[in-house]
Amino acid sequence: MKFILASDIHANLPALEAFFEYLEGHGLSREPVYFLGDYVNLGPFPEETIALLRAFPGKIFLSGNHDRYIVNEHALDHNPYFGNPEGIRHCRWTRNQLSPGSMEWLRSLTVRHRFPADGWTVDMIHGRHGSDEETLDETKIDTASRILYVCGHTHVPRNQAVRKARIFNPGSLGKPLDRDNRASFGIVTTTGPDAVLEVVRIPYDIERAVRALEEREVPWRGGIINSLRTAIYTDEQ
């Protein structure tokens, strides 16, 4: 079985468009695509990004922590991700850009998806079981079974074998944080005893996203722009 993993788009429309163009141009447009959450926040195109995703026949769309922040105002209370008040302003800016239909789509997202694939149990989640703000801990999963754990959240690709289990993370499509600023996604192939992750990197028009952040006067844009260009995390304004 072959399927595509995409995560952490973060309202980066140019990166998402480049992803769809890559799938079409490389004969992958008919493969199932699983999206692992964080469609909004940290980017200038929240409404346009959700509109494009809603028009795409994705296999599954999981919810991420940033999606939850938008649909649940109380999620911003005492949130360690937003010690900087500009972060809270940014979340509220994002919410104000979204149509009622997009808000309803975010509310409808599920947090976990499991299915069988060639003798593997594929277990997909944004962060870890029980939290969308932390990543999978290899010491706290079932490693005695052939389970393919799939997660996002960290914005860094991960390909880890732990006894019989595997942990795959495709990295971030819209805001990589591994010092490679190209969009990142994954192609998974399962064939009996093997499960393989290929991480694919795509160049896209980063400066188009930067211009939109500046022209739309998006709160918190200084740190976002720096991260887009350098693929290094910063929370500066």
**What pLDDT score was predicted for residue 79?**
74
Return the bridge partners of 190, or none. Answer: 195
To which H or E segment does residue 222 belong?
Answer: helix 221-230
Give 237's pLDDT tier (boundaries 50, 70, 90). very low
pLDDT value at position 74? 84
Residue among 33, 92, 81 at smallest CA distance from 61:
33
Task: Encode pLDDT of 47-102 as tens digits.
Answer: 999 999 999 987 899 999 999 999 998 888 777 667 678 888 999 999 999 999 99
- Which pair of structure tokens corresponds to residue 85? 């008040």
**236: pLDDT strictly greater than 60:** no
With beta carbons less than 8 A apart as the criterion, state whether 93 and 40 touch.
Answer: no
Give the CA radius of gyration of the chain: 17
Q: ∠ at Cα 50 (48, 53), nearest 5°?
A: 110
The answer, yes or no, to whether residue 235 has pLDDT greater than 80, is no
Domains and CATH numbers, the chain: 2-112+170-230 (3.60.21.10)
Residue 106 CA to residue 120 CA, distance in Å, equals 29
| 154-167 pLDDT, tens digit each | 999 999 999 999 99
pLDDT tens string 11-54? 999 999 999 999 999 999 999 999 999 999 999 999 999 999 99
* C-alpha distances out from residue 112 to 157, 180, 235, Å: 19, 28, 29
Summarize pLDDT for 130-153 with one digit per residue, the tens. Answer: 999 999 999 999 999 999 999 999
Q: Which residues contact 44 (CB under 8 A, 6 or more apart)?
A: 11, 13, 209, 212, 213, 216, 218, 221
Whether the Cβ atoms of residue 3 and residue 188 lie closer than 8 Å to each other = yes
Task: Tell me the per-residue pLDDT of 177-229, one tens digit each, with 9 for 90 and over.
Answer: 999 999 999 999 998 889 999 999 999 999 999 999 999 999 999 999 999 99
Please list, in sequence order, all residues whose beta carbon lies within 8 angstroms of the beta carbon of residue 5, skipping any fewer than 6 positions away. 33, 34, 36, 150, 168, 170, 185, 186, 187, 188, 197
Q: How far apart are CA 40 and CA 46, in angstroms?
A: 5
User: Can you give the pLDDT at residue 169?
Assistant: 98
Pairing of strands 158-162, 147-150: unpaired
- pLDDT at position 84, please? 76
Structure tokens at 218: 């998006």
This prediction has a pTM of 0.96
Let me know how long the chain is.
Answer: 237
